[in-house]
Amino acid sequence: MDNSKWPARAVLPIAQPGLIFVFITILITGMLFYFGWVFFAWVSLAIILFVCWFFRDPDRDIPADEKSLISPADGKVIIVEKQEKCDYLSDPCIKVSIFMNVFNVHVNRVPFDGVVQTVQYHPGKFMNASFDKASIHNEKNALIIKMADGTGYAVVQVAGLIARRIVNCVKKGEKVKKGDRYGMIRFGSRLDLYLPCDFNVAVSVGDKTKAGATIIGYMK
């Protein structure tokens, strides 16, 4: 994990955690051209373009509705269900899971205003993130956020089959705003939301989402 602060608006069109990969691939490409290995240099140049595209970090227009909770990730909704027990909340909850493939923007955003009560990191396996058991067994990082009315919700980054790095940039006690960038997971993964039972869900399984723009539902 990485706790360095993420700027409120994108300074570059590439997410901060991806800059090191861009610099490394540029360096390798330059060396390949310098030594005359032209074929491999062009392949490396194509890799640079892919890395820049993968780590893209577009600005988004955050919905102004005070009660709306927005998607923390680009991807597809794969689970919407009520759960009697939850590892992160003391009461029954509603779980909404969003699967990100390698073609999605991977920057994660805060779903709703609040204060970070807990940051829970769990090492684990790297199963396919589309499987529900990934929520239990895979490497993950959970934020439990307390809202102004005293209730809480959780947003959990879950590493996927080829993901090997969860980036989280917020700490316990930090105030967060809806739409703030707070992290990412490199190379495919999922985000799980655990929401109060009276949450009004506005998405269904199969829906596509955009981080910071798609409304997942509304708080009571």
For residue 189, the domain's CATH number is: 2.70.70
Q: What is the pTM of this model?
A: 0.82
pLDDT at 165: 73
Residue 161 is assigned to a structural domain of this protein: yes
Domain hosting 166: range is 68-218
**Which residues are marked as active site?**
189
Interatomic CA distance for residues 102 and 194, integer angstroms: 24
pLDDT at 117: 95
Residue 58 is assigned to a structural domain of this protein: no
Report in angstroms the alpha-carbon separations of 57 from 12, 14, 24, 52, 206: 8, 5, 19, 10, 24
Mean of all residue pLDDT scores within the chain: 85
Find, among 94, 157, 150, 92, the residue nearest to 121 by Cα.
Answer: 157
What six digits make up the tokens of 21? 């990969």
Find, among 212, 200, 218, the residue nearest to 63 by Cα.
Answer: 212
Interatomic CA distance for residues 72 and 157, integer angstroms: 9
The mean pLDDT value for 161-183 works out to 84
